[in-house]
Chain A
Amino acid sequence: ELKVEQNPLFLSMQEGKNYTIYCNYSTTSDRLYWYRQDPGKSLESLFVLLSNGAVKQEGRLMASLDTKARLSTLHITAAVHDLSATYFCAVVAGDSNYQLIWGAGTKLIIKP
C-alpha cells in the first residue's frame, strides 16, 4: 500500500529565512505533485515532477524529486508572508494513471 508522509506538519518561520519541506513515499512512483492551499480556499497545483532528478522552480519555491530515495523536497528561499499556506504533496498510485495518494499537508506560517 502506497503511503505518503510529509514533514514537518507544521512550520512557523521568519521572513527571509530558508526552509525545506520533505515528502517521503513508500513504494515506487514516477509522478509527484505539489499543491498549495490557502485558508478557506481550494487547492492550487504548484509543480508536477515526472522523473528522477527533476527540479522545478517558481519564484521562491523549488521542488525536486529523487525517485530512488522516494523523496521529494519543497525548498523555500527567503520566505515572504505571502507564502503562508498549507502545502501538500501527492503521488500517483502505482497501478493507476490518475489516482493520487496524498500527504497530510504542511501548514506553513511565515511571520513578518
Chain B
Amino acid sequence: DVKVTQSSRYLVKRTGEKVFLECVQDMDHENMFWYRQDPGLGLRLIYFSYDVKMKEKGDIPEGYSVSREKKERFSLILESASTNQTSMYLCASSYTRYSQPQHFGDGTRLSIL
C-alpha cells in the first residue's frame, strides 16, 4: 500500500512564526502536492512538484513556499504565519502515468494564534 506520511496531525503556532510542514511518500511517486482544505471550499492546491527541485504554483501560493530536495519528501513552508492560514493541510503524491489517482496523507490541522 502507498504510504504518505505527514509529520504532524495537529500543530499550534503563533502569528509571525515560520512554520514547516513535512510530507514523505514511500512509493517513488514523481508528483507531490500540497492542498489546504477549508469547509465548503473543497481542496485548493497550494503548490505541486513534478520532480526533485521542481515546483509549480497552484491556485493559492501566496504566503507559502515549498522545498523538494529529495524525491520522497515535499515540505511546505509558511514564511510568516498568519491567522488566515489556520486550516487543514493535506499532502498527496501520484505517478505521472496517465490516470493514476493521488494518494493522500492524514492531514495536518494547523492553528495559528
Contacts and interface: CB of A to CB of B under 8 A. Distances in A.
Interface stretch (A12-20, A43-51, A63-71): A43-51
Nearest to B35: A102
A98 B42 contact: no
Contact of B48 (A35, A41, A99, A103): A99
B41 A42 contact: no
A104 B37 CA distance: 10
Given A42-B106, A43-B104, A99-B48, A50 B41 contact: no
A45 B99 CA distance: 12
A9 interface: yes
A42 B90 contact: yes
Contact of B96 (A41, A45, A98, A102): A98
Given A42-B90, A42-B107, A97-B96, A48 B101 contact: yes
Nearest to B6: A42
Given A88-B42, A98-B94, A103-B42, A45 B103 contact: yes
Nearest to A33: B101
B102 interface: yes
Interface residues of B, number: 24
B9 to A, nearest CB: 9
A48 B105 contact: no
A45 B40 contact: no
B110 to A, nearest CB: 15
Sort A-B residue pairs by CB-CB distance and give the 7 closest, nearest first. Answer: A45-B101, A102-B42, A104-B42, A102-B43, A42-B104, A43-B104, A42-B106
19 contacts: A9-B40, A31-B99, A33-B101, A42-B4, A42-B90, A42-B104, A42-B106, A43-B104, A45-B101, A45-B103, A48-B101, A50-B99, A97-B96, A99-B45, A100-B102, A102-B42, A102-B43, A103-B42, A104-B40
Interface of B: 4, 31, 40-45, 48, 50, 58, 90, 92, 94, 96, 98-99, 101-107
